């Protein structure tokens, strides 16, 4: 599997930004990861705030707190969280995920097409034709 495909798969299957980290684009990868986490935390925070507001209006009765009641409360909170906000945040996260995958793939393709630099070649190779190596 080539480098570009691996980077794109890391982005799709693991987490957005992992492909950039794999390609040693650390700043870009960390920025993407932070943006995705911030968007996810923002959505979660919005749901928590809606849940808190709901519980202030209609608190649990004593001895009535069970898993089923908590799940129903969370579902109610998700349904009553601003749909436009959720759609906007999920769209931005999805857009960033797709664009980071495309970016990782194109960076990987560019890195594959660049020939190895002379600094990375073996200095004791037989094909060294520099004037310094032929002098004794």
Cβ neighbours of 30 (radius 10 Å): 13
Report the alpha-carbon distance of residue 123 to residue 91 in Å, rounded. 52
For 37-92, how does the pLDDT look when each residue is reduced to its tens digit (9 = 90+)? Answer: 999 999 999 989 988 888 888 777 777 677 887 888 888 888 888 889 999 999 99
Q: Percentage of the chain surpassing pLDDT 70?
A: 84
Q: What is the pTM of this model?
A: 0.72
121's tokens: 């070649």
Report the alpha-carbon distance of residue 113 to residue 121 in Å, rounded. 17
Q: Is the pLDDT of residue 33 over 80?
A: yes
pLDDT tier at 130, thresholds 50, 70, 90: very low
Between 126 and 101, the higher pLDDT residue: 101
pLDDT, position 81? 85
Residues 20 and 67: beta-carbon distance below 8 Å: no
Q: Is the pLDDT of residue 135 over 90?
A: no
Where along the chain do its domains lie? 3-113
Stretch 19-37: mean pLDDT: 94
């Amino acid at each position: 599997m080539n480098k570009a495909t691996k980077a794109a798969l890391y982005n799709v299957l693991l987490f957005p930004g992992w492909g950039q980290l794999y390609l040693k684009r650390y700043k870009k990868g960390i920025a993407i990861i932070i943006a995705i986490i911030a968007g996810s935390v923002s959505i979660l925070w919005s749901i928590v705030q809606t849940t808190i507001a709901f519980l202030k209006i209609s608190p649990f009765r004593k001895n009535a707190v069970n898993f089923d009641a908590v799940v129903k409360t969370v579902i109610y909170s998700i349904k009553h969280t601003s749909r436009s906000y959720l759609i906007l945040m999920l769209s931005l996260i999805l857009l960033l995920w797709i664009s980071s995958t495309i970016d990782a793939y194109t960076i990987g393709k560019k890195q594959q097409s660049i020939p190895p630099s002379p600094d990375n070649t073996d200095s004791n190779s037989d094909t060294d034709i520099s004037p310094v190596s032929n002098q004794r």
